């Protein structure tokens, strides 16, 4: 592929005689829908309210010229063509799109193939209970995705596949971008998309100076995406955008010299690819501290199933007791698990929380039923979207004959109604191997393997 030397100045356009299509000034803000002025803004100038001003139709018509042909040609030559879900079949695309939410392709591949071998059609998925689905999702995280997929499959088995983007959006767990991808990639229809890759590509190409995570900015980006998406080859165009964001226009160190949009990419021209997309303020994590109760009788452990909805709804977990926020865990060895970036969370731990553990009424009663109690020299960190969660495992080896008593105790403590709904639904004795086979959240696997 030929490349274009990076200009030494910051051109606003190419001449009409150039072989590349002339670029068009991109909107730097929600209100700036005309060519950008080179005059510096005064210190007191402010942008107009974005929601009241639509994107200029002439600008969008100009932006559309050349982008689809360039992307389609690039995708044909350099894009991904060997992914197992790249088939004109809505169910295959649907499953992949749900799995790929918040999850990288390399992680999804193995899960997707196992899932499709077991549930080859929407009807196959619909006729089983969620207990049969959970083992095939365990470890992917964001378990509400699996629950919604299962619920939606039941509707599809009864009503058939939707035939429009709006119809797909009516199913549980399917938003606007996912619906567009399924309709375009799986059904050959017109379906604009707006996943993380697309936001990054458009934000850089336009030098879009608003946070694409904000609702007002997303509204404008959707307007642009709808105009840019061709009526024909909508699916391959969507794939081209996703491939470009994954292969070329990456979060860091984008390979701009290989990009088909380089000639009129405003972030590249201005040497500011590292500044786009505009980033939100860092997430402030709430802190949560819990005790994980590892109650054993021989080779079996006592497991608790949470009801849906919830973080681990309808999955088996070790019973957890939350500690007050003012009583963090001891600063022992800390092992981060299931973390987005595998970094230490840097929690400010108190010097001693043994009293908080041992004074808890459930812990006291479990101690009285046990022949041995052990608190391992490790705590586990788990990061959710907005929660930094530290979990301290405690092991209780029950004394002979206390298995039923422990079951009654846990049932009294956990199986109760909270605001009219059960918080936990079942208790069961299972070996670690049986529990893993049933589909455990990744933190639970780490807890039983490391303690």
- Catalytic residue list: 97
The strand ranges marked E within 247-369 are 286-297, 300-306, 316-317, 320-322, 333-337
Tell me whether strands 417-418 and 421-422 are parallel, antiparallel or unpaired. antiparallel
Phi, psi of 252 (to 5 degrees): -125, 150
What is the distance between the alpha carbons of residues 52 and 31, in angstroms, rounded to a whole number?
A: 9
Helix (H) or strand (E) holding 276, with range, is none
Q: Facing residues of 320 across strands?
A: 292
Helix (H) or strand (E) holding 204, with range, is helix 196-206
Phi, psi of 47 (to 5 degrees): -75, 150
Q: Facing residues of 303 across strands?
A: 428
Largest Cα separation within the chain, whole Å, is 89
User: How many Cα atoms are found within 13 Å in the side-chain-facing hemisphere of 197?
Assistant: 22
Tell me whether strands 286-297 and 387-398 are parallel, antiparallel or unpaired. parallel
């Amino acid at each position: 592929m030929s490349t274009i030397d990076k200009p030494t100045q910051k051109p606003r356009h190419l001449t009409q005689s150039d072989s590349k299509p002339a670029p068009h000034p991109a909107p730097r803000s929600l209100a700036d829908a005309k060519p950008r002025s080179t005059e510096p803004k005064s210190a007191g100038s402010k942008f107009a309210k974005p929601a009241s001003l639509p994107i200029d139709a002439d600008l969008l018509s100009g932006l559309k010229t050349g982008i689809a042909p360039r992307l389609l040609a690039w995708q044909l030559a350099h894009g991904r063509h060997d992914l197992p879900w790249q088939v004109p079949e809505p169910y295959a695309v649907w499953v992949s799109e749900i799995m790929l939410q918040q999850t990288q392709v390399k992680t999804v591949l193995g899960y997707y193939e196992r899932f499709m071998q077991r549930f080859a059609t929407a009807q196959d998925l619909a006729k089983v209970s969620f207990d049969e689905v959970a083992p095939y999702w365990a470890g992917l995280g964001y378990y509400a995705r699996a629950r919604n997929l299962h619920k939606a499959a039941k509707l599809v088995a009864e009503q058939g596949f939707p035939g429009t983007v709006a119809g797909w959006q009516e199913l549980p767990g399917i938003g606007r971008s996912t619906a567009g991808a399924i309709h375009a990639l799986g059904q050959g229809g017109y379906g604009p998309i707006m996943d993380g890759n697309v936001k990054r590509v458009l934000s850089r190409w336009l030098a879009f100076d608003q946070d694409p995570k904000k609702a007002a900015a997303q509204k404008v980006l959707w307007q642009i995406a709808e105009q840019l998406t061709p009526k024909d080859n909508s699916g391959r165009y969507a794939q081209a955008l996703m491939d470009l964001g994954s292969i070329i226009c990456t979060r860091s160190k984008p390979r701009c010299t290989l990009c088909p949009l380089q000639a009129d990419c405003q972030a590249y021209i201005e040497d500011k690819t590292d500044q786009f997309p505009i980033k939100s303020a860092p997430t402030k994590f709430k802190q949560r501290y819990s005790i994980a109760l590892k109650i054993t009788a021989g080779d079996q452990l006592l497991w608790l199933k949470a009801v849906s909805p919830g973080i681990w709804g309808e999955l088996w977990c070790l019973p957890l007791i939350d500690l007050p926020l003012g009583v963090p865990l001891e600063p022992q060895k800390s092992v981060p698990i299931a973390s987005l970036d595998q970094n230490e969370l840097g929690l400010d731990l108190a010097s001693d929380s043994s009293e908080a553990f041992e004074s808890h009424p459930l812990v006291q009663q479990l101690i009285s039923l046990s022949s041995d109690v052990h608190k391992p020299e490790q705590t586990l960190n788990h990061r959710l979207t907005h929660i930094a969660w530290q979990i301290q495992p405690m092991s209780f080896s029950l004394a002979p004959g206390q298995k039923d008593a422990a079951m009654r105790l846990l049932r009294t403590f956990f199986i109760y109604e909270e605001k009219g709904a059960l918080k936990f639904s079942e208790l069961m004795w299972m070996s670690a191997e049986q529990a893993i086979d049933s589909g455990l959240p990744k933190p639970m696997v780490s807890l039983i393997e490391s303690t």
